[in-house]
Chain A
């Protein structure tokens, strides 16, 4: 069990093959907080989608870059804060609802990540602080 008012910080090389480290940690953390198997999976998904977007859009898969992430737990919420030094990339602006289309050929192949983050998390926000992009995802307990 993660005690309240505690936090865990990660710094990983900002590459797609390292994002699983954040995802697996997120799932374990949310499970320890009492979230069920499927909820914990979905919360991992939101964390992974956020990190994917940072690597792909802010850093554009540039090498020798780092992604910081902090989980902080309070009495009523878990806050996941992502900080990167990539180009300003408020990918939240691209938020589109999930397509309800049943026609295969009209179905988008990508662009579901942001919609999933909004679907899963309770609060989502992006700010630019000096040279940093700060993305915050909140899940209420």
Chain B
């Protein structure tokens, strides 16, 4: 109760501050008058009595202050400090602007990066209870996570006891006919409960009902929001209407919410139920789906994993032909969605954090120099009665003010950086990152910015405050201040610079290693010549090109047209373009070798005879395919070197036979050639064994065309599209691109590019801040030593010797920074080695280059004060006070 009343009274006093002050002043004046009267009565002259009374009471303002502190809030003195701090900043705008900009840079950059970290790693996936969702897949020795087969899925779903639901999704594509146009449309096939498992309901229409994914059920589809808007104008009466997908009628039953995104199938515009088993799904060994399950309450991922592994082991006994060696892989769904981004993001956040650190240290040393030049002011305030705590509070207030201004500017910067970075992500990749949409200023990022501001403020306040405390102690105890502690604080500025340079070295080294990785990644041996290569995907409608003869005829037609193009050297057709993924595999068996049902997994590519020469793949032995390798001749195959080495070690593979697991006569093929590895998977994936077949043996209506050009391959793309559509307007033609583009836009290249540029940017800023900090410290030290330099020169020191004196000091600081930095960078590089590609964390040339860059910049920065020192006029220096 009492506290409450007191608080109210205090509030009243605060509101009536003016009248409170007046009352107090009048009251005290009255008191003094009375005392003066007393003195007068004692026989002292009126004027003298008045002064005597004033003297007796001492500092009236201080007295008033004390009374006021009893009633008033501390906030009031805080406001005073704040006003004073603002005045201080306004008096030296150069310092203020520099400090605020540097802080804004640090806070802005780290907040922006944190915005991404938050969106990707901290904020939950946009599904109901997302931490119960797991990704359910199979695993085998070669592939720790491989697709789930439809038969296995059905058994797992039936037999498991740890999931409340298990559903599957798989990719597919349709030619969607709208008006007269047929457009290839990426889609997904899902089991009936897929959306219910995620906890997502359509915004319009209905979800798939239980049982609607069984073979023979009617064809229905759910649209993504974007597709509904873009292709159907957002018509609400579309529900119940039928649309034409690759010539078949599907009824639209629902539209997904606008914010729905499912990263593993990000580009899917249409969602259809599984329905009939595809040709491949009739086999239990056809791994073409992925599972997503919801854990029962209280069940851990590990328990679910153990459950599925037990089931997988049972199935392996039951169906050894297809399931031998197949186990289960259960991981949180978030791991599949964002797992690959984690190391990059953590590295970037660490880089931004270091930049923030260096920015704070930089500003702290600026503040320190200013505190030094404000010694007189501090002394005067102390003499006038300011308590030490009040003096320290002034520094804390100034630190807070600087940091808050920096934070405000940093927040603006962060928003700009975030939108810039989000825009830099290429669209196809951004589709797979629905979380990019939530990057921005929100509660988490605001908290982070506030936290870093507070830290910066503390650092800015602590440096001069500690300095103040230590100086007082040592001045009280010794006169010279030769103690280690005092020297440490006297050299605090210099020590801070060493920290700055150390951090700069770490960032530079990190950036250097990432840049080298990036370079090596882009120049990795691909086995092809990626320049002057234009590529395009084609999907031919089943209705016109359903039969193998029709498909082969289409291939010939396309190749003829494209090859006849002016500027096109050669053209080929393939089932999959290189540098995409280590997918579309086949199990092989070599006759005459011991075989126990193991899965010898190799990549399988169907190509036209001109395809490999068009890529400039290098033939090692044997021959390439010819036009004669068609369905009327026995099947032959070309191996890559990895495959030749793995399956025919120390043998000549030419002429050897290869078959499927059961050595079915139809599957048998003879090896006719060996080529150097063509990188089929991503740039940083390992090279897999691969087998090439003639596409005329197993044609398909979905394929890709690659054309080698003599001129700029980019210019040929539009003409290529036009020509292909002229062959048949119903051909779905999409994904036109150049091979170089594909390489530099691939996910691995993009992640590397992002981290290289960002960490590189941080490093350049850090280098600048560190070098400017060094300049500041050396220049300050020169200004402090002007007298000493004057004496030295008067005693005959040469200008060169003076320059060396200054350079030696700078060199000492730089050297310590470089050595400490190099040690730290080997350690940090070790932490980010998952991001490095073919580069050791201790890569000597990078570290050497970093040391050289920093050393050279430091030398440049210290030359200016060194020259100034050597041009000191000894007469002036000595006569100056």
A joins B in a complex:
no
Interface, chain B (partner A; CB < 8 A)? none
Interface, chain A (partner B; CB < 8 A)? none
